[in-house]
Amino acid sequence: MLKNFVQLFSGNPTKKTVDQFKDLVIQVNALEAEYSALSDEALRAKTGEFKARIAQALVGLNPPPISGQERDEERNKFEQDALDEIMPEAFAAVREASKRTIGLRHYDVQIIGGGALHHSQIAEMRTGEGKTLVSTLPVYLNALTGRGVHLITVNDYLARRDARWMAPIFDALGVSVGVLQMAAATENGKKAFMVDFEKESPHEDQHNLRLVDRVEAYSADVTYGTNSEFGFDYLRDNMAMRLENRVQRGHYFAIVDEVDNVLIDEARTPLIISGPASGDLEWYGKMAQVVKQLRAEDYELDEKNRNVTLTEVGFSHVESILGLILLDPDRPEDLTPEQARLTGYLEQALRAQFLFIRNKEYLVQGGKVVIVDEFTGRQMPGRRWSDGLHQAVEAKEGVKVEPSSVTYATITLQNYFRMYQKLAGMTGTALTEAEEFNKIYKLEVAPVPPNLEYQSFGKGAPLTEIKSKDEEGYTYSYFARSGDTSPLFYRRKDYPDVIYRTVEAKLRAIVMEVIRYHALGRPMLVGTTSVESSDRLSGRLKAEPVRRLLQVTLVRRAYMKAKDLEEDGRLIAELAPFNEPIEKITPDALRNFIKPHGVTSINPEEAANLKILLDALALPGRVW
């Protein structure tokens, strides 16, 4: 709907992107034969040639007494003009290096994506369209300035995977690659890695990675790492007592992968470096016990705004438990220092008890509270909530309460990334946040068409897109050769959302879907919103619950057939007992219910029953 709305008022944004960079594609394609004929040494020498041309372009800079800021602005303009001029040749060099080293040739749409990134835009590209390969184009081009390019990934694994995967391309062109990893693997952030293919290890997180000082990784032409690693290094640099102890060398150009997640969803997330502070840990435990004794009328819970407050009755109840006066009802704004301190403990205990849920916001492992990232679901060992909240959660769970901390340095991701002279990003979903990107970061979204769709554009296109409907009535598209209707490639089917009235119905539908695709030999990725939900669903995929669900399906099918009924979504009273959670249903109850209707066996493995289940799962008989 949003896509149609955008097209109605501003034309097709995808076509605009293609038109903007079509000349670049033509130029890069025209150079392909020339660069294919170069030897490996000649191709590598292109890097030195490009750097010399950039240096020559900067010779025309105005000399002092022009002010420092004006000179920097003029230098940047000259530099970007020089990069724009050599962009087709640089992209052609990267394409050729990629063909020779990792066997991948950049498609035309990937050239378009690279152009968008170089021009500080957000390249919106579908999943599987090769964003990792696209990034090598602007990374190489901007690395020619010698000022360092930062490529931000969403986790440590992708940082080292992408760095190792693309490093052969950079190595063939004489470009060095650094990799940042979390503090636990790098001596508390003092070390980092350089990609080195002579360094081998049986451990994935160390293979082809040579441990170096942090500053050396930042001195590389391109540095891969997560947003938090770059941000924390910036904070540590600002706390450094000596200039030579700093590791970063400036903020020239950053390309952010999954940019909507980093720059929008997590934008206001603060990165905090803290240290121990003095405080009375005993009160965390006392307040944890107090809030566990509260009644429903003692507090007001606002889950939407993540807020919990005590009512007047609640304050009186707390004061009676503690035997202390926390609030003067006649002058509630006048708090003594001691009352303010105790009220702080109480507020955090309330938040810990009613807003922070175990196995959702955090886990308890090895006697420690481990935060779970709300965006990725990953554990964040070593991270702690501030302002006494972490201590309140520890007291709630009965684990050792560690001392609270005081903030030494902090910055939000939004403010950090706005320091870069050039900023670009890649993602599969950016148009929906286009207004925010423009307002906050002055970034435009450039939708790049999928490769197959691009090949169906315009007159004389080699492919044509044809729409059809599947057996369930859903519309889908496929690509055929021009003048033919036989499917050659299929566009991914995006099904509409399905809403269920109960959690049990949803879990059963998910399990049936997993069974179906498992039988077809297709792996599935199932995402949940909490660890608790993952554990619950995982339990449903064990042998016994799966078998019970299939037995319920057999019974339901047999009953519907015996009563000559059809599924129409309405509740059938006789079958209602079998809508209970699957673990509460017994085989005996199923057999006793269906036996009067002529069914003597509910064994899913019997030939007759297997045929019914194949039909229920919409599976062909040959898959079993």
Q: Give per-residue pLDDT as tens, 274-314.
A: 777 666 788 999 999 999 999 999 999 998 888 999 998 99
Contact of 132 with 74, CB cutoff 8 Å: no
Q: Point out the least confidently predicted range of 285-289, 352-356, 430-434, 511-515.
A: 430-434
- What is the chain's percent helix, strand, coil content, to nearest 5? 50, 15, 35
Q: Point out the least confidently predicted range of 207-216, 422-431, 488-497.
A: 488-497
Contact of 316 with 328, CB cutoff 8 Å: no
Question: Is the pLDDT assigned to residue 573 strictly greater than 80?
Answer: yes
Between the CA of residue 442 and those of 75, 439, 618, what are the distances in Å? 21, 6, 50
Mean pLDDT across 135-160: 96
Confidence of residue 184 (pLDDT cuts 50, 70, 90): low
pLDDT for residue 64: 56
Question: Is the pLDDT assigned to residue 94 strictly greater than 60?
Answer: yes
pLDDT for residue 279: 67
Confidence of residue 62 (pLDDT cuts 50, 70, 90): low
DSSP state of 495: P
Question: Is the pLDDT assigned to residue 103 strictly greater than 80?
Answer: yes
Distance from C-alpha of 8 to C-alpha of 224, rounded to nearest angstrom? 39
Distance from C-alpha of 354 to C-alpha of 292, rounded to nearest angstrom? 10
Question: Is the pLDDT assigned to residue 186 strictly greater than 60?
Answer: yes
pLDDT for residue 11: 65
Contact of 290 with 346, CB cutoff 8 Å: yes
Contact of 557 with 616, CB cutoff 8 Å: yes
**Residue 92 CB neighbours (<10 A):** 26
Chain mean position to CA 455:
29
Question: Is the pLDDT assigned to residue 357 strictly greater than 60?
Answer: yes
Question: Is the pLDDT assigned to residue 521 strictly greater than 50?
Answer: yes
Confidence of residue 8 (pLDDT cuts 50, 70, 90): very low
Distance from C-alpha of 25 to C-alpha of 88, rounded to nearest angstrom? 8
* pLDDT single digits (tens) 384-404: 888 889 999 999 999 999 887
Contact of 164 with 186, CB cutoff 8 Å: no
**Structure token digits, residue 320:** 């009676």
**Structure token digits, residue 148:** 């360092």
Confidence of residue 326 (pLDDT cuts 50, 70, 90): confident
Q: Vertex 311, ends 308 and 317: CA angle to 5°?
A: 110
pLDDT for residue 16: 93
Question: Is the pLDDT assigned to residue 567 strictly greater than 60?
Answer: yes
Return all residues near 364 (Cβ < 8 A) that are at least 6 apart.
Answer: 358, 370, 397, 399
Distance from C-alpha of 115 to C-alpha of 94, rounded to nearest angstrom? 13
Chain mean position to CA 121:
19
Contact of 224 with 136, CB cutoff 8 Å: no
Contact of 271 with 224, CB cutoff 8 Å: no
Return all residues near 285 (Cβ < 8 A) that are at least 6 apart.
Answer: 395, 401
**Structure token digits, residue 208:** 């082809």
Question: Is the pLDDT assigned to residue 39 strictly greater than 90?
Answer: yes
Distance from C-alpha of 180 to C-alpha of 186, rounded to nearest angstrom? 8
**Structure token digits, residue 523:** 């792996």
Question: Is the pLDDT assigned to residue 130 strictly greater than 90?
Answer: yes
Distance from C-alpha of 75 to C-alpha of 64, rounded to nearest angstrom? 13
Distance from C-alpha of 394 to C-alpha of 348, rounded to nearest angstrom? 11
- If phi over 0 gives left and psi between -120 and 50 gives alpha, with beta otherwise, what is residue 93? alpha
- The three-class DSSP label of residue 196 is coil
Distance from C-alpha of 143 to C-alpha of 600, rounded to nearest angstrom? 73
Confidence of residue 2 (pLDDT cuts 50, 70, 90): very low
Question: Is the pLDDT assigned to residue 531 strictly greater than 90?
Answer: no
Between the CA of residue 526 and those of 357, 501, 535, 537, what are the distances in Å? 22, 20, 12, 9
Question: Is the pLDDT assigned to residue 67 strictly greater than 60?
Answer: no
Q: Could you tell me whether strands 307-310 and 475-481 are parallel, antiparallel, or unpaired per DSSP bridges?
A: unpaired
The beta-strand segments (E) located in 279-436 are 299-302, 307-310, 362-365, 368-372, 379-380, 405-412, 422-427
pLDDT for residue 571: 83
Question: Is the pLDDT assigned to residue 599 strictly greater than 90?
Answer: no
Question: Is the pLDDT assigned to residue 6 strictly greater than 50?
Answer: no
Distance from C-alpha of 126 to C-alpha of 111, rounded to nearest angstrom? 15
Q: Point out the least confidently predicted range of 282-291, 334-343, 496-505.
A: 334-343
**Residue 179 CB neighbours (<10 A):** 30
Mean pLDDT across 155-164: 95
Question: Is the pLDDT assigned to residue 356 strictly greater than 80?
Answer: yes
Nearest to 158 by CA among 125, 182, 138, 175: 182
What does pLDDT average to over the chain? Answer: 90
Question: Is the pLDDT assigned to residue 358 strictly greater than 60?
Answer: yes
Return all residues near 448 (Cβ < 8 A) that are at least 6 apart.
Answer: 14, 17, 109, 112, 113, 116, 123, 124, 125, 129
pLDDT for residue 373: 82
Q: Which residue has the higher pLDDT, 10 or 447?
A: 447
pLDDT for residue 332: 62
Contact of 406 with 387, CB cutoff 8 Å: no
Task: Identify the bridge partners of residue 222 per DSSP, sorted by sequence position.
Answer: 149, 177
* pLDDT single digits (tens) 220-273: 999 999 999 999 999 999 999 999 999 999 999 999 999 998 999 888 888 988
Distance from C-alpha of 342 to C-alpha of 326, rounded to nearest angstrom? 8
